[in-house]
A and B are shown apart, each in its own frame.
Chain A
């Protein structure tokens, strides 16, 4: 199906059922919440309600939230997926929101080094992923 099509769009255009049959699902790890107008880097007392809408954070929110590295521990010690890749990709993305991305990555790296004291191998791998 769709072998003869010339572009990805054409596949979906000629097989409209596909968009109903296939869906992308992603998992979230809650790392913080907003209360009284402030972003707090730890879990809210209650989980989000079912059917809540999910949005990506905008740059300002990302900047504010990544101003503190307290949430890193929640990510690092998450029990599913590949936490290190998640941390690396989160930090690289957050660094772009900061005026001095390199400085931000160094500070974040030092926080990781503290959190991963005694896990040098893991720290090494993580830092390699973060290295500019």
Chain B
């Protein structure tokens, strides 16, 4: 074996265990030959105990000395000889390793079959700690396969680290990180992983129109979207046909929303975005009672005259100012080009039809992506109705033993707008996040301000993938309820700002820091199974040749 690996696939030796506890992790004193600078927080480490093999991550790196007077009278390190002698002896490095998993005695087949188990003890004194090898990573995270999606590599390693997609889609998940840290790239990869596994369908509310046809790199340049890579499996719906066409895409369906589809609950969701008071938002329920469930908004907005609105308020016995504000703010909806006075739109059925055929649907918002009100309105409205249908089919399936609908993963961005503590308990997204997989619908939440999301929702997320966060509150929110969170904090706060993420939760056996796999180069597309036209033609020619023999022959 090369690359500094020893025999039996054991990685580079780091040092020996000298102290520690299960609660606080074990301290490993680095060998004289290992510089502290070689070991980074988040590195994946294996420790060979007497009977068990432990896997853990480095959560802290510290400097130690045998002599307390070292700080006051440092040795003469300008002398290279003295520096060489003192480092690793009088002055040494220690790392703190949080043991996460154990693997039983490799001679006992039943232990090996059980696979890695959560660590319930610590390695004995003087156990040897080594950097995890490629084999260790495969042992813990599995090898790349249809269900095991290669998401990136551990720090400083080239090994493929895989996510268990069937496990991932069983629950709602979150991708977090401040802006510009690679959330979109990670999300795109997750969507591809789900698509390739075939374990679930995706419905993406694509706010910035960067998943469907093409996206942009921060450094400049375009990257292919899902439709370009997997055209037969992905349908792009658009709210803004012009914008889609300008970007070179003919959408599969242009979504329109009729006034009759909007319900008072949708207005509740928009309260914060439209700046409505509670009274004003509640007035929509009175309007619904007054004009009838499907007609209220159209009737209300058709009132042009301010005095008429005030009269209506008196008539309905609601606050005049509140109703007038509501009228004002809801008039904004009329400016949305996708709103349609005519009824008879059935975007929901269209979406469901595609999903039933095993397709994945990306809904592009085009220019409306910059209007949060449009995004919240449409996402909420469609999701509520899709969820209703799923609940019906699931109940039908359990009653008649018919086939259950394929699990659906709904991706939403700016999730804190949907899931603030104030609204999470009432909205559809809140209930999807909480009821988990009961109805085969889960969420993929993409957000930069996790502290704005309801705690209960956060605690229900199965797998969290987080890029760099630097606000204390956001870090707290992401790590709330995770064992060893104190240790993960230091790891999370020190992620690099690009292409690095900490992943933990159900889809993988232990928390790990990854370097996200490349996306956006021709090679990366090829690794994702994409064949461009030239390659397809060559393949076809080869196939023809195989069938009929070469023309010369």
Partner pick for A113 among B73, B76, B90, CB 8 A cutoff: B90
Number of interface residues of A (CB under 8 A): 20
B279 within 8 A of partner (CB): no
Interface string of B53-94 (1 = CB under 8 A from A): 000000000000011111001011001011011101110000
The docked-state distance in angstroms from the alpha carbon of A127 to that of B73 is: 15
The docked-state distance in angstroms from the alpha carbon of A131 to that of B85 is: 10
The docked-state distance in angstroms from the alpha carbon of A99 to that of B86 is: 23
Which of chain B's residues have a CB closer than 8 A to the CB of A119? Answer: 67
What is the minimal beta-carbon distance from A101 to any residue of chain B, in angstroms?
Answer: 12
Interface string of A82-116 (1 = CB under 8 A from B): 00000000000000000000100110011011100
> Which of B68, B81, B85 has its CB near the most chain A CB atoms (within 10 A)?
B85
A47 within 8 A of partner (CB): no
Which of chain A's residues have a CB closer than 8 A to the CB of B81? Answer: 102, 105-106, 109, 127, 130-132
Interface residue ranges of B328-376 to A (CB < 8 Å)? none
B32 within 8 A of partner (CB): yes
* A120 with B69: CB separation less than 8 A: yes
Which of chain A's residues have a CB closer than 8 A to the CB of B69? Answer: 120-121
* A120 with B82: CB separation less than 8 A: no
Interface string of B7-19 (1 = CB under 8 A from A): 0000000000000
Partner pick for A131 among B68, B82, B88, CB 8 A cutoff: B82
Which of chain B's residues have a CB closer than 8 A to the CB of A123? Answer: 75, 86, 90
Return the chain B residue nearest A110 by Cβ.
B89
Which of chain B's residues have a CB closer than 8 A to the CB of A114? Answer: 66, 89
* A131 with B67: CB separation less than 8 A: no
A124 within 8 A of partner (CB): yes
Which of chain B's residues have a CB closer than 8 A to the CB of A117? Answer: 66-67, 90
Return the chain B residue nearest A112 by Cβ.
B85
A128 within 8 A of partner (CB): yes
The docked-state distance in angstroms from the alpha carbon of A80 to that of B66 is: 27
Which of chain A's residues have a CB closer than 8 A to the CB of B88? Answer: 110
A16 within 8 A of partner (CB): no
> Which of A112, A119, A120, A128 has its CB near the most chain B CB atoms (within 10 A)?
A120
> Assuming A106-B84, A117-B66, A120-B73, is B89 touching A131 (CB within 8 A)?
no
> Which of A105, A109, A114, A132 has its CB near the most chain B CB atoms (within 10 A)?
A109
The docked-state distance in angstroms from the alpha carbon of A127 to that of B84 is: 11
The docked-state distance in angstroms from the alpha carbon of A95 to that of B82 is: 16
Interface string of B201-214 (1 = CB under 8 A from A): 00000000000000
> Assuming A110-B32, A110-B89, A113-B89, is B82 touching A127 (CB within 8 A)?
yes
A45 within 8 A of partner (CB): no
Which of chain A's residues have a CB closer than 8 A to the CB of B89? Answer: 110, 113-114
A37 within 8 A of partner (CB): no
The docked-state distance in angstroms from the alpha carbon of A118 to that of B69 is: 8
> Assuming A117-B66, A120-B69, A120-B75, is B85 touching A106 (CB within 8 A)?
yes
Which of chain B's residues have a CB closer than 8 A to the CB of A124? Answer: 73, 75-76, 82
What is the minimal beta-carbon distance from A126 to any residue of chain B, in angstroms?
Answer: 10
Which of chain B's residues have a CB closer than 8 A to the CB of A118? Answer: 66-68
Interface residue ranges of B71-119 to A (CB < 8 Å)? 73, 75-76, 79, 81-82, 84-86, 88-90
* B79 with A128: CB separation less than 8 A: yes
The docked-state distance in angstroms from the alpha carbon of A102 to that of B80 is: 11
The docked-state distance in angstroms from the alpha carbon of A132 to that of B79 is: 10
* A127 with B67: CB separation less than 8 A: no
The docked-state distance in angstroms from the alpha carbon of A132 to that of B84 is: 12
Interface string of A21-51 (1 = CB under 8 A from B): 0000000000000000000000000000000
Which of chain A's residues have a CB closer than 8 A to the CB of B70? Answer: 120
What is the minimal beta-carbon distance from B90 to any residue of chain A, in angstroms?
Answer: 5
* A131 with B73: CB separation less than 8 A: no
The docked-state distance in angstroms from the alpha carbon of A118 to that of B68 is: 7
What is the minimal beta-carbon distance from A132 to any residue of chain B, in angstroms?
Answer: 6
Return the chain B residue nearest A123 by Cβ.
B90
* A128 with B90: CB separation less than 8 A: no
* B84 with A113: CB separation less than 8 A: no
Which of chain A's residues have a CB closer than 8 A to the CB of B85? Answer: 106, 109-110, 112-113, 127
What is the minimal beta-carbon distance from B449 to any residue of chain A, in angstroms?
Answer: 50
What is the minimal beta-carbon distance from B84 to any residue of chain A, in angstroms?
Answer: 5
What is the minimal beta-carbon distance from A72 to any residue of chain B, in angstroms?
Answer: 13
The docked-state distance in angstroms from the alpha carbon of A118 to that of B70 is: 9
Which of chain B's residues have a CB closer than 8 A to the CB of A130? Answer: 81
What is the minimal beta-carbon distance from A114 to any residue of chain B, in angstroms?
Answer: 6
Which of chain B's residues have a CB closer than 8 A to the CB of A120? Answer: 67, 69-70, 73, 75, 90
What is the minimal beta-carbon distance from B96 to any residue of chain A, in angstroms?
Answer: 22
* B76 with A128: CB separation less than 8 A: yes
The docked-state distance in angstroms from the alpha carbon of A113 to that of B90 is: 6
The docked-state distance in angstroms from the alpha carbon of A124 to that of B69 is: 12
Which of chain A's residues have a CB closer than 8 A to the CB of B90? Answer: 113, 117, 120, 123
Which of chain B's residues have a CB closer than 8 A to the CB of A121? Answer: 69, 73
Return the chain B residue nearest A120 by Cβ.
B67
What is the minimal beta-carbon distance from A23 to any residue of chain B, in angstroms?
Answer: 38
> Which of A105, A106, A123 has its CB near the most chain B CB atoms (within 10 A)?
A123
The docked-state distance in angstroms from the alpha carbon of A13 to that of B57 is: 78
Which of chain B's residues have a CB closer than 8 A to the CB of A128? Answer: 76, 79, 82
Interface residue ranges of A56-93 to B (CB < 8 Å)? none
> Which of A105, A106, A113, A132 has its CB near the most chain B CB atoms (within 10 A)?
A113
Q: A residues engaging B (CB < 8 A)?
A: 102, 105-106, 109-110, 112-114, 117-121, 123-124, 127-128, 130-132
- 15 more contacts with CB within 8 A, not counting A109-B85, A110-B32, are A113-B66, A113-B86, A113-B89, A114-B89, A119-B67, A120-B75, A124-B73, A124-B76, A124-B82, A127-B76, A127-B82, A128-B82, A130-B81, A131-B79, A131-B82
**A-B contact list, 28 entries, CB within 8 Å:** A109-B81, A109-B82, A110-B32, A110-B85, A112-B85, A113-B66, A113-B85, A114-B89, A117-B90, A118-B67, A118-B68, A119-B67, A120-B67, A120-B69, A120-B90, A123-B75, A123-B90, A124-B75, A124-B82, A127-B75, A127-B76, A127-B81, A127-B82, A127-B86, A128-B79, A128-B82, A131-B79, A131-B81
Closest 9 CB pairs of A and B: A109-B85, A113-B89, A117-B66, A131-B81, A120-B67, A127-B82, A113-B90, A110-B89, A120-B69
